[in-house]
Amino acid sequence: MRYMKFLWLILLGAFSAPMFAQEKLEKELDRYKTTLKQVILQDAAKEGRVKEFLTNTIQVIIIPQCQFTGTAQQVIVDSSAIDNMQIDTNYYRALLRKDNQVVVVIEKQGLRTPSFMTIGEYGGSENVPQWVNMVEKAGFEKRLFSIDLLMEESRMKQIAFVNQRQLQFVDAGLQVYSGIQPLLVNKYGSVDKFVELKKENLEKMQLLQNNASPESWKHLVRNNYTKWTERYPTDTAGVFDLFVKEMDTIVRLSNRQKELLKQTITNKLLNCSKYNGRPGIQFIDRDIAPLVYTVLTQEQYARYIYQRGLNAWVANEAFKKLEIYYVREKSVPLDSLSKVYDREVFSLK
């Protein structure tokens, strides 16, 4: 009897944990949408062309933006993904619906004020953004939210809702998926590929979290050789020093490898093709990947390419954060930013 009671407690826990996660997410979505609905209606009342639709029969369909947290492995399990979902209050989309017809489309992106567009301003329902059709396909009555599986997906690529402890999705092709894994296979070819990409995303986020101050952002930008190139395109010696310094930090170059890199790049740079983006290794305006490959071991080369991609990403993010910091917190006029960068960011290596 005691054994049966123990077994029952185990089974109850196994079923109640996913249910609790689902209920938690649903309650958070409901609370958020209830508060946001009033904000949207107040903002809509200030829009002359929208105000006419605001009667007692108006429906407000809100699609919050959610993000996955947790490990890459947790993300691919429906119940675990639900448990690791967070609402991003800086972004949302919404629809005003009257007489079973969408009449206004609303989008809120980052710190910008929300935009309101009537169906007439789009030139008809056939010209609305695709996410509106995705919402209709999923069903207006569902607890809808949008997700970006990876950080690179800056625009809505799929919407989701919870149904009996399972995530369901509608993608831009209006295909419906029961569970997260069929969606991942369709989008990325395999679940394993998504896990690789998600791990890289999480590493990027960790880099940002480890460098969360203006001084850290300055350091990242100042010591990134491609950022230095953008500022001083003729400073070949300075660019090379930063290039080798970063590579040495990643793969631990021998003294002879440093010498060979300098000789090879000096003698053969102009023979390299113009750099046209990834894959490749940019040096000034050339792709020196073939030159670097002759000096590094295959293991060093692979490690450098991977970490260099992360470093380049975090330097770009740091540069964006610096611009926001100077303009919004330091009240630096846009036409004075260049001088501030010269003085406070690029003055020292």
| pLDDT tens sequence across 175-193 | 999 988 999 999 999 999 9
Q: How confident is the model at residue 22 (pLDDT cuts 50, 70, 90)?
A: low
**C-alpha distances in Å from residue 81, one per residue of 77, 85, 223:** 6, 6, 37
- Alpha carbons 23 and 140: distance in angstroms, whole number: 20
Q: What is the rounded average pLDDT of the residues 318-325?
A: 93
**Other C-beta atoms lying within 10 Å of the C-beta of residue 30:** 11
CA–CA distance, 201 with 205 (Å, rounded to integer): 6
- Please tell me the predicted confidence (pLDDT) of residue 5: 42
* Closest residue by Cα to residue 14 from 79, 59, 72, 101: 79
d(CA 273, CA 306): 22
If one counts every other C-beta atom within 10 angstroms of the C-beta of residue 1, the result is 5
Q: In what order do the strands lie in the sheet with 115-118?
A: 115-118, 101-108, 85-98, 59-68, 145-147, 158-163, 166-171, 176-178
The pair of structure tokens assigned to 204 is: 């990027």
Q: Where are the domains of the chain?
A: 2-188, 211-344
Q: If you write DSSP's letter for every residue of 272-334 in order, what string do you get?
A: SPBP-SSSS-EETTEE-HHHHHTTS-HHHHHHHHHHHHHHHHHHHHHHHHHHHIIIIIS---G
d(CA 158, CA 68): 13
pTM: 0.69
For 110-168, write each residue's pLDDT tens digit. 767 899 999 999 998 899 999 999 999 999 998 899 888 887 666 667 899 887 767 89
Q: Quick one: average pLDDT of 4-27?
A: 51
Tens-digit pLDDT profile for residues 39-91: 999 999 999 899 889 988 999 999 999 887 777 788 788 777 778 788 888 88
User: Per-residue confidence at 4, pLDDT binned at 50, 70, 90?
Assistant: very low
Helix spans in the chain (H)? 2-45, 48-51, 72-75, 78-83, 119-122, 130-138, 180-188, 191-210, 214-222, 225-231, 236-251, 255-268, 289-293, 298-324, 337-344
- Looking at residue 88, what is its pLDDT? 86
What tens digit of pLDDT does each residue of 204-252 get? 888 888 999 999 999 999 999 999 999 999 999 999 999 999 999 999 9
CA-based R_g, the chain, Å: 26
pLDDT at 235: 93
Q: What's the CA angle centered on 20, arms 17 and 24, to 5 degrees? A: 140
Q: Which of 18-32, 57-71, 331-345 has the lowest mean pLDDT?
A: 18-32
* Distance (Å, whole) CA 278 – CA 250: 19
How many residues are present in the chain?
349
Angle at 332 between CA 327 and CA 337, to 5 degrees: 90
Give Cα 52 to chain centroid, integer Å.
36
- What is the per-residue pLDDT for 17? 45
- Which uninterrupted H or E stretch holds 178? strand 176-178
Query: Which single residue is written with the structure tokens 């077994």?
Result: 7
- Number of Cβ atoms within 10 Å of the Cβ of 272: 19
**For residue 157, what pLDDT is reported?**
73
What is the structure's pLDDT at 69? 75
Q: What is the mean pLDDT of residues 28-47?
A: 92
Task: Judge whether residue 23 has pLDDT over 90.
Answer: no
Q: Which of residues 247 and 14 earns the better pLDDT score?
A: 247
- Please give the Cα distance from 14 to 212 (Å, whole number): 39
